[in-house]
Amino acid sequence: MEQLERLREIVNGSNNIVFFGGAGVSTESGIPDFRSVDGLYHQKYDYPPETILSHTFYKRKPEEFFRFYKDKMLCLWAKPNAAHQKLAQWEKEGKLKAVITQNIDGLHQAAGSRKVLELHGSVQRNYCEGCGKFFDAEYMLHAEGVPRCDACGGTIKPDVVLYEEGLDQQILTEAIHYIGQADVLIIGGTSLVVYPAAGLIDYYKGKKLVLINKTPTARDNVADLVVQGSIGEIFSAL
């Protein structure tokens, strides 16, 4: 496959790669895209996912929020796939400088990646809104109803960016820095429609923009290389 050969050349020839990933990287580990709504969904929930995962809903209906959150967002059984593992390997080899992700599952770190910029936070971190105490994802999964702090009784909020909440400016700034300095920018598993994250690629100044996705993206026309297919399979072949 010609594109694969070209991708291999690009990767082999660089020691300043930045990877920007979306939901497609996680779905290959079996994590469902939370936006996908089927008939079964409507039997369980009265509101669409975007409504439930909003700051307003979290404050107004915390029981319903956490019911959805534990059911749909805490996929603690998931394991890193070939894409996560290859990225961690490239970092160890000194080729990859950073992973920037829209995912919240912590699978990049589980695979061994160290420099991971999580634009939308992580389910692995949870903090009491009262006293700031840290709790892991297992605690949240097994908590009854609304998770409460065992120190002060406050509500424990996942460290994820909900709709209506702003992204962490420090992480955004760091992501812009890495993208702006990158020799190669590989974007995988995202259709590049979620803003402001999708706008980050405008900071890339290089000549090796690679898009890997199962379906066409909004930026295929500006990419130097487009590889269509499963990111896990493509990375396995490199």
Helix (H, G, I), strand (E, B) or coil at 218: coil
120 is catalytic: yes
For tokens 């297919």, the residue is: 229
User: 94: left (phi > 0), else alpha (psi -120 to 50), else beta?
Assistant: left
Cβ burial 57-88 (10 Å sphere, 16+ → b, else e): bbeebbebbbbbbeebbbbeebebbbbbbbbb
Cα distance between residue 87 and residue 19, in whole Å: 8
Cα distance between residue 205 and residue 62, in whole Å: 43
The CB density around residue 4, as the number of other CB atoms within 10 Å, is 15
Q: What are 100's strand-pairing partners?
A: 20, 117
* Annotated catalytic residue, options 42, 120, 142, 177: 120
Residue count of the chain, please give it. 238
Catalytic residue positions, numbered: 120
